[in-house]
Chain A
Amino acid sequence: MTPALTARNIAIVALLAGLLLMPVFAELAGNRFLLTLFTRIVILALAAVSLNLILGYGGMMSFGHAAYLGIGGYAVGMLAHEGVLSGFVQWPVALAGSALFALIIGALSLRTRGVYFIMITLAFAQMAYYIFAGLARYGGDDGLTIYKRSQFFNPINLSNKVQFYYICLALLFAAIYLVWRLVNSRFGMTIQGARSNDIRMRAIGFPTYRYKLVCFVIAGTMCGLSGALLANHTDFVSPQMMYWTRSGDLIIMVVLGGMGSPFGPLIGAVALLVLEEVLSGITEYWQIILGPLLLLVVLFARGGIDGLLVKLQGKERAKVRS
């Protein structure tokens, strides 16, 4: 199979090339904020990629995914506050913390399905939100400023914006690759099988609960990494990172970009955040445009932007054939 020169492939290659060259462009344009904005986009895209693993492939509609962003972020923030600055401690703690949280809430939540699953994951995320909001030592509701970013050995320096951007981008690409490998493995096939017919998968001898739980934990851990990056990026963590609206944002990115497509979440994250930035620059009332736009995407563009690109491709093929 050779990759064809279709609209979708061209768009994705252009997007990836754009992301790779962003620091050069920001330098040429003399606008360092562009780099700050795109670092944020790349980090949130990583979170969306992790959500896509359970949402798009596993059919697990988690409405509490932002909790891991917060746990990963607070692991970095709290350790920094206590004087532990080494990234070799902070990051593993962030990953382990989110993995553990995912394991516990996954084990309990996966007993329910449908809307009840949406709500129970929301409940756990809200509980996490309130727990961190109650920690007076770490700023409570107000959040915690991180005065020093995670320290690694030389020459890795997260305070260098360009370097930090490429680290985030590399991790994002690694995550996309990992998800792609995962869903095409036997494990991934089982997960996707369980999404379309759980009872049948169980009947032919797959312990789907366990498979789903492992998938849930992998996604949570990946999102925890994104949280650790986000904390380093904003130099600040607050309980707001895990409020339910933030989980909603992640879902929007995934659905807008295209669920169950490897690059969908990345496309969605770029589209949503760039749109927000551009629209809010045009008018104070930008949400009056964004709102109906979301509704239109739901109504007329099933499969999100990626779905649209695929449709475009289909039309081209039809043209070639005729």
Chain B
Amino acid sequence: MRKALLAASAALLLVAGPAMAQQKTIKIGFVSTFSGPVAVIGNDMRNSVELALDHLGRKMGGLPVEVIYEDDGFKPEVGKQKTDKLIESDKVDFISGYIWSNVLLASLKPIVDSKTFLVIANAGPSQIAGELCSPTVFSTSWNNDQTPQAMGTYMNQKGVKSVFLIGPNYAAGKDMLAGVASTFKGKVIGQELTTWPAQLDFSAELAKAKAAKPDAIFVFYPGRAGVQFLTQYAQAGLKGAIPLYTAFTIDELSLPLQKELALGVPGAQQWVNDLPNEANKKFVADYIKKYPGHKPAFYGAQSYDAIMLIASAVAATKGKLDDKAAVQKALEKADFKSVRGNFKFGKNHVPIQNFYLQDVVKDAKGDFVLKTVATIVKDNQDIHHAKCPMK
């Protein structure tokens, strides 16, 4: 018995020898928000990461994978601290996650300084696409202003002549409002920024928007604030009076609470759950199977892509992660099946991708669901890539 075991382990050692000796497990740190009311976003991301690991058989390039989740508590300085811990204590090979632009910007320095590979799964502050771009930093999401730019384009198509902008006063909020203003050809007749995340009563802003009599209102309120905004928008009697256009305000996580309030409110997105490609069908179906009662949102889709991207690079370099240049090359190739179909990076490591118009409808079962209506822009690249010194 003992001999057999010995022989078996010796054989195993021979097969896996070189890789095992070099590195036992691939370690990925994942920073997101897992506490407080926005934990619902973090949970969607974690669920999708776990699903991606299931699909990979919990292995990348034949090596076992360990994902260490850290909670940023929705606060930049906590996120920074957790990032330090992942780099210095856990010595992770990759870092991923980050919902919030301000948390990411605070955490960026130690990641770049330590040359740890970062795959951002949501936040897209404009600096990272531009002057702060880095060889080791990648994104599977978007740059903040791309999605609202698409929305601005759509509003032009709809013949909207004037718009009132409302959003939260933090890095992403300002990027979003600037984004919509940059492509919208009509007149921006007012803009309100609200204290983030403390302010949840938008009555003063809605009253101002109403008084300005615009053709349309554009908002950006991620997470729970989106539910609050839609509720108050309806209560103020604006539903049906002034049409609403959104970015990142209605998604699968907020929809169960927004329900009929979200009916007919258009949004722009680079991923929608009904995109007709095989990877996406598998992702959505297995997600619903694995987490009954939950549906994946774009946060999850981007996280799933982030893990798949990392897996593709680990496989391409056969787990030799010390060769930073090779890993970077492999990541740049983006040789994986993305849930949004074709996937390629610009030279600043931000995806070049389509943006779709999504709408809320009632399905056959009476559930509220998001569906793709049209493609607004094709192969869109962020406007900041010119400022990125990388080639």
Residue ranges of A at the interface with B (Cβ–Cβ < 8 Å): 31-34, 36-37, 40, 140-143, 145, 147, 234-236, 238, 240-241, 280, 284
Q: Residues of A contacting B290 with CB < 8 Å?
A: none
Q: Residues of A contacting B105 with CB < 8 Å?
A: 142-143, 145
- A145, B106: Cα distance in complex, Å: 6
- A37, B80: Cα distance in complex, Å: 12
Cβ contact within 8 Å between B196 and A145: no
- A33, B34: Cα distance in complex, Å: 22
Q: How far is the CB of B263 from chain A (nearest CB, A)?
A: 33
- A268, B268: Cα distance in complex, Å: 50
Range for the number of chain B residues in contact with chain A: 20 to 34
Q: How far is the CB of B193 from chain A (nearest CB, A)?
A: 10
Q: How far is the CB of A122 from chain B (nearest CB, A)?
A: 15
Cβ contact within 8 Å between B102 and A143: yes
Q: Residues of B contacting A40 with CB < 8 Å?
A: 81
Cβ contact within 8 Å between B80 and A31: no
Mask for B85-116, Cβ within 8 A of A = 1, else 0? 10111000000000001100110111000000
**Nearest chain B residue, comparing its CB with the CB of A235:** B109
Indicate which residue in A141, A234, A280 contacts B80 across the interface (CB closer than 8 Å): A234
Indicate which residue in A33, A141, A234, A235 contacts B89 across the interface (CB closer than 8 Å): A33
What are 24 A-to-B residue pairs whose CB atoms are below 8 Å?
A31-B88, A31-B89, A33-B87, A36-B84, A37-B85, A141-B102, A141-B170, A141-B196, A142-B171, A143-B76, A143-B77, A143-B102, A143-B105, A143-B106, A145-B108, A147-B109, A234-B81, A235-B80, A235-B110, A236-B76, A238-B76, A238-B77, A240-B75, A240-B76
Cβ contact within 8 Å between A142 and B77: no
Residue ranges of B at the interface with A (Cβ–Cβ < 8 Å): 34-35, 71, 75-77, 80-81, 84-85, 87-89, 101-102, 105-106, 108-110, 169-171, 195-196
- 20 extra interface residue pairs, beta carbon distance < 8 Å, beyond A34-B89, A142-B105: A32-B88, A32-B89, A33-B87, A36-B84, A141-B102, A141-B169, A141-B196, A142-B170, A143-B77, A143-B102, A145-B105, A145-B109, A234-B80, A234-B81, A235-B109, A236-B80, A236-B106, A240-B75, A240-B77, A284-B71
Q: How far is the CB of B75 from chain A (nearest CB, A)?
A: 6
Q: How far is the CB of B192 from chain A (nearest CB, A)?
A: 15
- A34, B109: Cα distance in complex, Å: 19
- A280, B34: Cα distance in complex, Å: 12
Q: Residues of A contacting B110 with CB < 8 Å?
A: 235
- A140, B171: Cα distance in complex, Å: 9
**Nearest chain B residue, comparing its CB with the CB of A30:** B91
Cβ contact within 8 Å between A33 and B85: yes
Indicate which residue in B88, B108, B169 contacts A36 across the interface (CB closer than 8 Å): B88
Q: Residues of B contacting A34 with CB < 8 Å?
A: 89
Q: Residues of A contacting B109 with CB < 8 Å?
A: 145, 147, 235-236
- A143, B103: Cα distance in complex, Å: 10
Q: How far is the CB of B266 from chain A (nearest CB, A)?
A: 29
Cβ contact within 8 Å between B171 and A33: no
Q: Give the residue among B80, B195, B196 with the most A Cβ atoms within 10 A.
A: B80
Q: Give the residue among B75, B80, B106, B171 with the most A Cβ atoms within 10 A.
A: B106
- A33, B87: Cα distance in complex, Å: 8
Cβ contact within 8 Å between B84 and A142: no
Cβ contact within 8 Å between B35 and A284: yes
- A241, B76: Cα distance in complex, Å: 10
Cβ contact within 8 Å between A142 and B81: no
Cβ contact within 8 Å between B77 and A236: yes
Q: How far is the CB of B131 from chain A (nearest CB, A)?
A: 12
**Nearest chain B residue, comparing its CB with the CB of A146:** B109
- A34, B84: Cα distance in complex, Å: 10
Cβ contact within 8 Å between A284 and B89: no
- A141, B102: Cα distance in complex, Å: 8
Q: How far is the CB of B70 from chain A (nearest CB, A)?
A: 9
Q: Residues of A contacting B35 with CB < 8 Å?
A: 284
- A241, B106: Cα distance in complex, Å: 13
Cβ contact within 8 Å between A241 and B77: yes
Q: How far is the CB of B127 from chain A (nearest CB, A)?
A: 10
Q: Residues of A contacting B71 with CB < 8 Å?
A: 280, 284
Q: Residues of A contacting B81 with CB < 8 Å?
A: 40, 234
